Structure 1
Amino acid sequence: MSFQFKIIPNDDLDIIIPLVFQLNEGRVSKAVLKSRFDEMKHQNYECAVIYNDDEIIGVSGLWYCTRHYAGKSVELDHVYIHPNHRSKGLGKKFMDWIYSHVKEKGCCSMELNTYVQNYPSHKFYYNEGYEIWGYHFYRNI
């Protein structure tokens, strides 16, 4: 296995749709994901992926902004590694690569949301040095 971490061009975001579809357990259709990624590629967004040879097996969106309480920041979004490649240290390596990448871009902090019921991710992020600072509220309009 030959793993490679990289930022894909925003014009190639369609290639991550199958993984993000898996992450959302089919709650968001592939057509809707395509439409949303078509909008996102024109925003302050980058997409990091993990390649295993020629197959994408991991993904994380990176949203850049400046926050009054944290300075230049990046928010990780839709972080997902295919289940066949979990619990092998790959997530740690991916996070280390992302940390280096965003630090080079001048970021001072990283944030993310994780689903309340996703206990394995909570443990992982605690081990990566993240702290819970609050709750993420959502309202459909």
Structure 2
Amino acid sequence: MLSNLTFRLANFDDLNDIVKLLADDKLGEVREKYENPLPLSYHQAFQAIDSDPNNSLCVVEKENRVVGVLQITFTPYLTYQGGWRATIEGVRIDASVRGRGVGKKFMEWSIQQAKEKGCHVIQLTTDKQRPDALAFYQQLGFTNSHEGLKLHLEN
């Protein structure tokens, strides 16, 4: 199962599969719009991410099918003597392969990407409505070291 995984940067042809993954859970089905054609906002967001050297939209494939997605943002800081940190967001693994080690391998690959970039820390958040995701990240060594807050803005 795990020997035939490919980890890579996403390309525009992956966009439909990515949005489908993002929409395929109880939170995503409310905030995403997976329809054909996709709303223009997804195309614009992909182009912005793809053109930013400090952002990486990544996918994992199994047998040439996208089964996972995440975004890594690399941010330079003045803290830690001008250190870099990575933020991982939008992690989704296809329900058909969940619980089989794909997410773990994908996160291990992502951690390696952050190390290669010279990051001193990786941060992420998970919604409190996803306790299984929290347990998953803790098994990978992530700790609840900070309180995270969000302010949703009206557009």
Q: Name the stretch that deviates more: 125-134 or 115-124.
A: 125-134
- The within-5 A match list for 1:54-65 is 54-65=64-75
1:83 counterpart = 2:95: yes
Deviations 1:38-70 (CA, angstroms, capped at 9, x unpaired): 322233211121101110000110111023445
Aligned residue in 2 for 1:135: 148
Secondary structure, aligned partner of 2:96: helix
- CA distance in structure 1 between the aligned counterparts of 2:22 and 2:133, rounded to whole angstroms: 16
List aligned pairs for 1:2-41, cutoff 5 A. 2-9=4-11, 11=12, 14-15=15-16, 16-22=18-24, 24-29=28-33, 30-31=38-39, 32-41=41-50
Q: What is the match of residue 122 of structure 1?
A: 134
Percent identical: 24
| Cα deviation 1:92-117 (Å, max 9, x = unaligned) | 11111111122111111111111111
Amino acid at match of 2:147: G
| TM-score between the two structures when normalised by the length of structure 2 | 0.79
| Contact 1:13/1:37 (8 A) holds in 2 | no
Select the residue among 85, 91, 104 that pairs with 1:92.
104
- Contact 1:113–1:136 under 8 Å retained in 2: no
Structure 1 unaligned runs (5+)?
none
- When the two chains are superposed, the root-mean-square deviation of aligned CA atoms in Å is 2.0
Q: Which moved more, 1:32-41 or 1:57-66?
A: 32-41
Query: How many residue pairs are counted as aligned between the two chains?
Result: 140
In 2, the alpha carbon distance for the partners of 1:21 and 1:118 equals: 15
Local SS of the residue matching 2:73: strand
- Report which stretch shifted further, 95-104 or 15-24: 15-24
Higher CA-based Rg: 2
Counterpart of 2:113 in structure 1 is 101
Gaps of at least 5 residues in structure 2 are none
Q: TM-score, normalised by structure 1?
A: 0.86
CA distance in 1, matches of 2:15, 2:50: 10
Supply the AA of the counterpart residue of 1:135: G
109 and 140 in structure 1: CA distance in 2 versus 1, 3 angstrom threshold: same
Change (3 A) 1:88 1:13: closer
Shift in CA distance, 20/34, structure 1 to aligned 2, threshold 3 Å: farther
Bigger drift between 64-73 and 76-85 goes to: 64-73
